[in-house]
Amino acid sequence: MISLGDPIASNAVLAALQIGEEDNIIAIKETPNADSNFVITHLIKKIIYEKKRLCLVNFHNTLDHYQNIGKKLGYDLLKGVDEGIVKIIQPIRDLLENIDQEDKYLQENTENIVKQLYLDIKDSLRVLKENNKSVYLIIDDLSHLHDLGVNINETLTFLHYCMNFIDDNDVSVVFNNHVSSKLDEIISNDLEYVADVHVEVSSLKTGMSQDVTGLLTIKRKSDVKQYHYKAFDRGIKTFHPGESIYHLYN
Amino acid sequence: MEKKTFKSIPGTAYSSQNGHLLVSSGIPSLDTLLGGGIPVGTVVLIEEDFHGSYSKIVLKYFLAEGIVSKHSTLIASQDVNPSNIIKELPAVIDSDLDSTEISKISGISDKMKIAFRYQNLPTADSARNQYRHIGHLYDLSKNMSFSDIENSDICYWNGQRIENGTRLYSNPAYNALLRSIRNKIRDGKFYLKDSPNKRSILRIGVHSLGSPMWLPHRKSLHSIDSTRDLDKFIFCLRALVRSANAVAVVTIPTHLYHEISLDRCIHSSDIAMRLQAFGGTELENNQSLAEYQGFFYLTKLAAINSLASRHPGSMEYAFKLRRKKFSIDVLHLPPDIHDDSDPKRQSIPLTCGGGTKYLDF
């Protein structure tokens, strides 16, 4: 086992994901009662380790949450923001200013919501790409666009625009999507179709368990890998189904 | 949520596990279940029982704890007058008296002898002592005194004055409530970025959100739009409390929404629980459940600032309502022993073959 060095080798989640240079579209599907946030935080760890640029769009969790987890996983997101290698767009914070004014994230013309979000992302990516570094765009999570009233066509158009960033070949996109309604499912199926890597985080069908938190399914076109995972305070352990006892008690 | 910015707000404590600022829900057994209390900056969603009576008790405990801890309160309801909810809050039991009582009880239990094989097993009490309890104890049979209520900062919202200005929601009441909460947070300086002289917590209680009383007058049936409103409201509320020293408890009569799932609301909330009362169902007369009033389901306990959720896993819980106290316990089925008071059964000899006439196949 490698103690220091490349987290892709030493970190269980990253070793399971095996995200490479050629994986430009990564879709994460989160089913009800499961929490896929660890996939994103681990991807951030990899991005920061590889000194790539990151644009993070926070709908679901605050920057504090990412910073606190980052400390546990061994990276400093705020330092990255100061150094200009990380840009954060925070709808969850900026939304508050729109409760009175009906602008930006809260407005009747829902098309403008995604338009303005797209322009924000475009600006951030333009700054981040300046030194010809490759950039990751992470959106956590898409399904909150529904909560804001954005309809399915507008969401798909927004996704299409985001994927067009990839044409430059130095941008990769990561979409996290929570699936709880029919509309979420349509978006998720579309994402699964276009994604290079599709990661599904679901709870166990049999219910809650002390030894296993949930199921991690990683699809690359026809290649499907399944892992069970157990979440601890400071990290995630993954194992093949049936091996949980061996990993937990040895 | 930086640690340094808080300077010992009354009625709060830091979680020993993840350093999160916690407030009590007012119910000690619920606090234990949630890992010490409710984290500040979260939305708690309670799916109401059929008549909404038990969920209202949970909400009252939460608000009473706020008043005793000198927190600010915002209470909203369209079903009942919110001031009535405040009037019916349970009275606090003098905490000094109680701690001595507890020590007396534990003193007695120390003297009792237990079989050696059970001695080292963890008991429910020791699990409870793991978290220092931050809340107070309440007596449901008495109401809180008026002087306590009058001296606290309580904001009532009953949906009487709603401007029809917005078209964001099909029901303008949601937007009006959001604005009231936002104004309260702004005026009371509850934002994390604010630095008032004395920091406090805002407790937001929303009773029966999305009940039939919340519908706009022009519509008479539930429409898709109205649940859309609910999704948007909960998401905005999440954004609001995350940026402030505030905790929101929202009860929703979910049984009225059986067609449309509430998963989206649960996704936007941090803690979700469901109460299922036995009253009026076939479980009411079930002897083995006679001790309890209903099932308690912890649907979601989000991992905030941490990778692992504190969800207790596959445990089953039930809630009890006694004259003075509401509590949530691990569901224990009583041992399957027949009723000893029945004289016929007692006379059955325990030998094989003897008394065959009593055997009933």
**Chain segment B236-253, per-residue pLDDT in tens:** 999 999 999 999 999 998
Average pLDDT, rounded, for chain B: 79
A26 within 8 A of A43, measured Cβ to Cβ: yes
Pick the closest to residue B183 from B231, B270, B244 (CA basis). Answer: B244
Confidence of residue B99 (pLDDT cuts 50, 70, 90): very low
A31 within 8 A of A203, measured Cβ to Cβ: yes
Confidence of residue B96 (pLDDT cuts 50, 70, 90): very low
The alpha helices in B198-319, defined as continuous H runs, are 224-242, 263-268
Bridge partner list, A70 = none
Confidence of residue B359 (pLDDT cuts 50, 70, 90): low
Average pLDDT, rounded, for chain A: 88
The better pLDDT of the pair A9, B270 is held by B270
Locus of tokens 């956590």: A140
In this structure, the number of other CB atoms found within 10 A of the CB of residue A50 comes to 14
Interchain CB contact of A110 with B (< 8 Å): no
Contact B307 A68 (CB under 8 A): no
The alpha helices in A129-243, defined as continuous H runs, are 144-147, 152-164, 182-194
With pLDDT > 90 as the criterion, what percentage of chain A qualifies?
54
Residues of chain B contacting residue A102, judged by C-beta atoms under 8 Å apart: 166, 168
Is residue A79 included in any domain, yes or no? Answer: yes
Sheet holding B12-14, edge to edge: B12-14, B21-23, B38-39
Is residue B50 predicted with pLDDT exceeding 80?
A: yes
Is residue A63 included in any domain, yes or no? Answer: yes
Pick the closest to residue B141 from B70, B93, B83 (CA basis). Answer: B93
Confidence of residue A181 (pLDDT cuts 50, 70, 90): confident
Instruction: Please give the distance of CA A136 from its chain centroid, rounded to a whole number.
Output: 10
Is residue B314 predicted with pLDDT exceeding 80?
A: no
Beta strands in chain A (DSSP E): 25-30, 53-58, 86-89, 135-140, 171-178, 197-202, 214-220, 223-232, 235-239
Tell which of A37, A39, A60, A68 to mutate to test the B interface (max B CBs under 10 Å): A68
Is residue A223 included in any domain, yes or no? Answer: no
Locus of tokens 């979680």: B15
Residue A96 sits in a domain whose CATH number is 3.40.50.300
Mean pLDDT over B194-201 rounds to: 83
How far is it, in rounded angstroms, from Cα A151 to Cα A162? 17
With pLDDT > 70 as the criterion, what percentage of chain A qualifies?
96
Helix (H, G, I), strand (E, B) or coil at A88: strand
Contact A35 B243 (CB under 8 A): no
Of residues A33, A147, A181, nearest to B235 (C-beta): A147
Chain B interface, Cβ < 8 Å to A = 1-2, 17-18, 166-168, 175, 178-179, 182, 228, 231-232, 234-236, 238-240, 242-243, 261, 263-264, 266-268, 299-300, 302-309, 311, 313-314
Is residue A236 included in any domain, yes or no? Answer: no
In this structure, the number of other CB atoms found within 10 A of the CB of residue B351 comes to 7
How far is it, in rounded angstroms, from Cα A240 to Cα A16? 10
The better pLDDT of the pair A42, B285 is held by A42
Contact B232 A102 (CB under 8 A): no
Spatial CB neighbours of B331, under 8 Å, sequence gap ≥ 6: B292, B295, B316, B317, B318
Pick the closest to residue A41 from A202, A153, A176, A197 (CA basis). Answer: A176
Mean pLDDT over A151-162 rounds to: 93
What's residue B280's pLDDT?
81
Taking CB atoms and an 8 Å cut-off, how many pairs form between chains A and B? 106
Interchain CB contact of A232 with B (< 8 Å): yes
Interface list for A 84-103 with B (CB within 8 A): 91-93, 95-96, 99-100, 102
Is residue A214 included in any domain, yes or no? Answer: no
Mean pLDDT over A90-107 rounds to: 84
Contact B232 A149 (CB under 8 A): yes
B180 within 8 A of B77, measured Cβ to Cβ: no
Is residue A82 predicted with pLDDT exceeding 80?
A: yes
Domain count, chain A: 1
Interchain CB contact of A124 with B (< 8 Å): no
CATH 3.10.28.10 describes domain B2-347: no
Locus of tokens 């909203």: B76
Structure tokens at A125: 């990516």
Locus of tokens 């905005």: B236
Chain A residue with Cα closest to B232:
A147
The better pLDDT of the pair B256, B314 is held by B256
Supply φ then ψ for residue A50, to 5 degrees: -85, 5
Confidence of residue B136 (pLDDT cuts 50, 70, 90): confident
Contact A100 B311 (CB under 8 A): no
Is residue A3 predicted with pLDDT exceeding 60?
A: no
Locus of tokens 């099932």: B295
The alpha helices in B77-223, defined as continuous H runs, are 82-87, 95-111, 116-119, 124-129, 146-150, 172-187
How far is it, in rounded angstroms, from Cα A111 to Cα A150? 7
Contact B236 A95 (CB under 8 A): yes
Nearest-CA distance from B148 to chain A in Å?
33
Locus of tokens 């001296």: B151
A51 within 8 A of A79, measured Cβ to Cβ: no
Structure tokens at B108: 């007695």
Mean pLDDT over B4-23 rounds to: 76
Structure tokens at B193: 């970025």
Using only C-alpha atoms, chain A has a radius of gyration, in whole angstroms, of 18
The better pLDDT of the pair A111, B107 is held by A111
Is residue A216 included in any domain, yes or no? Answer: no
Residues of chain A contacting residue B1, judged by C-beta atoms under 8 Å apart: 62, 64
Is residue A54 included in any domain, yes or no? Answer: yes
Mean pLDDT over A183-209 rounds to: 91
With pLDDT > 70 as the criterion, what percentage of chain B qualifies?
74
A236 within 8 A of A42, measured Cβ to Cβ: yes
Residues of chain A contacting residue B178, judged by C-beta atoms under 8 Å apart: 99
Mean pLDDT over A4-12 rounds to: 75
Is residue A213 included in any domain, yes or no? Answer: no
What's residue B105's pLDDT?
44
Which segment, A23-32, B220-229, B314-323, B346-355, is predicted with the most confidence on average? A23-32
Cα dist from A55 to A24, A44, A136, A167, B223, whole Å: 14, 10, 6, 17, 38
* The pairing of beta strand B271-277 with beta strand B294-301: antiparallel
A21 within 8 A of A48, measured Cβ to Cβ: no
- Each residue's pLDDT tens digit, A58-77: 999 999 999 999 998 999 99
Report which DSSP code applies to B12: E
Bridge partner list, A29 = A177, A200
Structure tokens at A159: 């996704």
Locus of tokens 């325990």: B350
Domain range summary for chain B, segments of one domain joined by +: 2-347
Is residue B331 predicted with pLDDT exceeding 60?
A: yes
Confidence of residue B4 (pLDDT cuts 50, 70, 90): very low
Report which DSSP code applies to A45: H
What's residue B337's pLDDT?
65
Contact A35 B302 (CB under 8 A): yes
* The pairing of beta strand A214-220 with beta strand A86-89: unpaired
Locus of tokens 């998720």: A188
Domain interval for residue A168: 25-202
Using only C-alpha atoms, chain B has a radius of gyration, in whole angstroms, of 23
- Sign, CA dihedral B161-B166-B172-B175, equals negative
Bridge partner list, B45 = B250, B272
